[in-house]
Each structure stands twice: as C-alpha cells, then as structure tokens.
Structure 1
C-alpha cells in the first residue's frame, strides 16, 4: 500500500511539472490569458466527467450554494493567478527553482493558515521553512557566481 501512495505522490509531482511546461508553451503560442482560459476549460471538462462517473453526482441536488462561504470562491481566483504566474515564469526560471518557490510558498502559507484557523504556531515548520529558504538563496548565489565566472571566461 505504501508503494501505491509513493507512486501517487510521484505522479502528482511529475504531472505538476509537465503541466507547468505545457501551460508555458501554450501561453507562448496563443497568449498568456488565452492559455490560462483553455487550461481552466479543460480542467472543468475533466472535473465534470469525473463527477458524472462518481458517486457524488447525486449529492449535488441537496447542496445549498448559499451556505458556502464567499471566501471559498477565491480559490478559483488564486488558481488563475498561479497558472498565469507559472506560465509567465516557466520560460524565465528553471523548473527546479519554480518547484522550490512553490514549496516554500506552501510551507509559509500553511504556517499562516495553521495560525489563523487552528491557533497553532509550529516552530519546527518555521525553522524548516527558513532553512529551505536559506538553502534556496545560497544556491541562487552560487549559480549567479558561476554564471558571472562563465561570462568572464568567454
């Protein structure tokens, strides 16, 4: 069973990187906002097909949309912003650095959510996030120095 979860986690990571690259190429071909639009159209079509074949389609009729908090709808806006920024940044930043930026962002947003929703502040998560951030900054400085050295040698 552990192998199954490992495989799912690995597949999720691979599809995230592949989606970023495909979205970037699509944005380069048809434009940033148009690429994001088609990304969401395909996403809603795929989600609708999965919903039709799932057992949860029957529960939609009992759902009261007015009971959903307004802040829940901001997830779509945040998703659009992430796709636009990712499509814009992918040709300019390596996939490795993008993945690290997303990871660091998830760590610190998770800390903020835990603080405001659960009233918990994890010192371990903060220290871990700061260590990853410093590691990223250190790696960026090394890459910058190597690029300068290569530029001078040419």
Structure 2
C-alpha cells in the first residue's frame, strides 16, 4: 500500500507540473490550443507504449461501450479549464479548488451509487478543503 501512496503522490506532482506548463502555453497560445497539444503529445506517447512495449494492440472502438469514451471528453475539458485558471489564480489556489471539486464529486458519486460509507473523517476532510480554499482566496 505504501507504494501505491507514493505513486499517487507522484501522480499529483505530475498533474501540478503539467498544469503549470500548460498554463504557460495557454498564455502564449490560448487554452484550447494548449489542451490540443497536451492531448496530441499524450496520445502519441501512449500509442508508442501500446504498440511497442505493451504489445496488446488497441481494442476496436466497436468493442468499447460509447459511455466509456466520455472520460476523454471530460479529461479534455479539465485540461482546458485548468490551463485557463492556473496562470490567473496560481498553482496553490487552482490545486485546492481542483482537489476540493474532486473530493466533493467523489463523495456525491459514492452517494449516488450507494457505495458511500460516510464517516466524520470524510466530512471533516471536505470541510478542511473548503476552509483552505476560503483562506487562500480571501486572506493575504
């Protein structure tokens, strides 16, 4: 489990660095162009990985339920939004708002799926994130 925690932390660091770099590209080229480049480069990298290292080939789209592909649309919207806000409100505020949105959405999804096992720690965590967002936004 410790390894998974380290990988998750590295993933969070990668998101922060990626959003910062895309924010700089957004300032030069705009959020949609930055998002397009982000996804093209990611597509090429993953295509090379699948073709040469993973060797399973790409599954046919006909074999994939359409609903599963909407994650790519949501991911593209996320990249555009975060590329737009990072240079305007900063990495710390953007990160807190993104994490806060993820926590709240995750809890709502669990609630709607009937898999929620709420306890005081989860609610306190969301409350602390919201307080952190308030403090970074309205205090100097």
Query: Hey, what does 1:148 align to over in structure 2?
Result: none
Cα distance change of structure 1 residues 55 and 117 upon mapping to structure 2, 3 Å threshold: farther
2:114 & 2:132 partners in 1: Cα distance?
A: 29
Q: TM-score, normalised by structure 1?
A: 0.76
1:90 aligned to which of 82, 86, 92: 86
Task: Please identify the structure whose Cα radius of gyration is greater.
Answer: 1
Contact 1:20 1:87 in 2 (8 A): yes
**4+ aligned runs moved over 4 Å, structure 1:** 4-7
Query: Hey, what does 2:133 align to over in structure 1?
Result: 136
Cα distance change of structure 1 residues 29 and 108 upon mapping to structure 2, 3 Å threshold: same
Note the 1:39-78 alignment, pairs <5 A: 39-52=38-51, 53-57=53-57, 60=58, 63=59, 65-66=61-62, 68-78=64-74
Cα distance change of structure 1 residues 84 and 64 upon mapping to structure 2, 3 Å threshold: closer
Query: Hey, what does 2:17 align to over in structure 1?
Result: 18
Structure 1 gaps of 5+ residues are 144-154
Aligned pair count? 138
Three-state SS of the structure 1 residue aligned to 2:13 is helix
2:107 & 2:9 partners in 1: Cα distance?
A: 24
Higher relative contact order (CA 8 A, sep 6+): 2
1:66 & 1:117 partners in 2: Cα distance?
A: 27
Cα distance change of structure 1 residues 32 and 139 upon mapping to structure 2, 3 Å threshold: closer
Contact 2:93 2:136 in 1 (8 A): no
Q: TM-score, normalised by structure 2?
A: 0.82
